[in-house]
Structure 1
């Protein structure tokens, strides 16, 4: 299944919270984010090699050759992952990490308060993987199944069914909406969900 390069989704990630625009990919398992220049967070937590999370992510390697001071994307004894950009058909070394993520809740009809989940797994990727992505996009949100798949992580964090729905618009001026959890999904076309 092809990724939707012109279809993006915004999550709030890190401390302090930063809106991160991501390309939607239905055929990729992982969420990956650029951790290059200008990446700042006090909540970044690398996932150790041999941990349950690392094993469940099906990682087969560890980061052991980072010679710079520890920083996002450069930590030894960390679960290694290979984030992939399908637009340039390139992957690169990254590390599995955890962060806080904040999303807007809904009752299915109206936007609700923002809710947060701690310890959401993602791949910390190098800036070079942003090539070919839409303007201002900082990574890819993979929606495939799996223990570290974004829908599974949200289902576990918020005790909701492991389901998601995407409302896409043919207009570039309309908002796109992604729902995680059970229905109803009753936003009407053209409804402003950003308020």
Structure 2
């Protein structure tokens, strides 16, 4: 009897120890991480992330997706197969499972989260798959390059990405399973070479962040590279985040924060820009003007009344630097050589003044675009008198800046140019450990 009691105590102690070990286990990763590629072979500079899409022939297939922080859902080049058995999918083709038009997902996406665009045709329930017996679920999406409407078919998708502690990439993988949509291969003719999808990182319930769960926190950190020779980096998770050669520096220590705002009928990200300041001259922004971020517009676009005041103020701040003939889409350009001699170019910073006395400094690295060997232009575009948003902050303005969309706390975090910290967005260590 005494021996039985001892054995019982030992078993209970062992089980208790095992539970304690499980309870104390913490995932080694704090985020997922993917490389960001800059593309310059389309109508405008664009950025993609590389995602693993399926496992075949003992390896993962990979695809490049445009980064879109405004799109309501993910869509890409794939085909629907209701019975995906081994060998049923053509080689080098991604096959996914269809969503039926009778499912709630279909109704929800089509009525609430699909694009509302006059150029989009009405969706119907007439299409079916051979042998399936159910109708598929067409949804409308919009090409971010051309603005053309594309009809795609809603699916059940699976993606795979690497995990990270913010400094290293782990061999462990994370696999979200979002609803996405399959579009015909011809839909991607306007895209950069080898880019055949749109990855939605917006606040929509059908964008990728909605499918990323614990232990990940809903924080999107983005570092766009300034050239295509080396990738930048995108994190989704709490951090820390670091870049070489200063792997001991957490990039969060460089950030200032301002509230993220919501706008009706948009899944994009907005902030409150109070004024634009150039060399101590403040250009006030109207109280109800909206300031939006875009990863598909190359340069910051300003409503005409704001644009004209910025151009005038910047011209006054750069008296003495010889002007050059404008180069579209820019109107204020300068010569880097005058009478055969290189001009000493000293352009002022441009500050976006934000609530609570915060400011986001756009240095000349992110405001002046070298368009030819001899000409540099202010990389701001006139959006017209009736543009929907007074300010649309484009990608050139945050290349080699570290920016964070903190969806947990509805905050936008921003650094200024990382070049001043002797690093760049191309300095993340993607070696798998």
Please give the range of the TM-score, normalised by the shorter of the 2 chains: 0.7 to 0.9
Question: Which of the two has higher C-alpha Rg?
Answer: 2
Gaps of 5+ in 1: none
Structure 2 residue 200 is the aligned partner of structure 1 residue 160: no
1:72-119, CA deviations, whole angstroms, 9 ceiling, x for partnerless residues? xxx942332112112111122111111221101001111112424253
Kept in 2, the 8 Å contact 1:5–1:133? The answer is no
Selected match of 1:178 from 234, 238, 241: 234
Query: How many Å separate the matches in 2 of 1:146 and 1:106?
Result: 25
Spell out the pairing of 1:1-195 with structure 2 (5 A cutoff).
Answer: 5-16=45-56, 17-35=60-78, 39-41=93-95, 44-59=96-111, 64-66=125-127, 69=130, 76-117=134-175, 119-154=177-212, 156=213, 158-188=214-244, 189=424, 190-195=427-432
Greater percentage in strand: 1
CA RMSD in angstroms, aligned pairs only: 2.7
* Post-superposition offset of 1:181: 1.7
Shift of 1:64: 2.8
Shift of 1:144: 0.9
Partner of 1:95, secondary structure, is strand
**Structure 2: how far apart are the matches of 1:192 and 1:134?**
25
**Alignment size in residue pairs:** 185
**Is the Cα–Cα contact under 8 Å of residues 31 and 141 in structure 1 kept in the other structure?**
yes
Distance 1:92 1:47 in 2: 18
Most deviating of 79-88 and 137-146? 79-88
Deviations 1:22-50 (A, max 9, x none): 11112212111112685243xx2212234
**TM-score between both structures, scaled by the size of structure 1:** 0.80
Report if aligned partners of 2:177, 2:211 keep a CA contact under 8 Å in 1. no
After TM superposition, the score normalised by the length of structure 2 is 0.39
- The structural deviation recorded for 1:123 is 1.2
CA offsets 1:53-82 (integer angstroms, 9 cap, x no match): 3344354787632366369xxx94233211
Tell me the equivalent position of 2:314. Answer: none
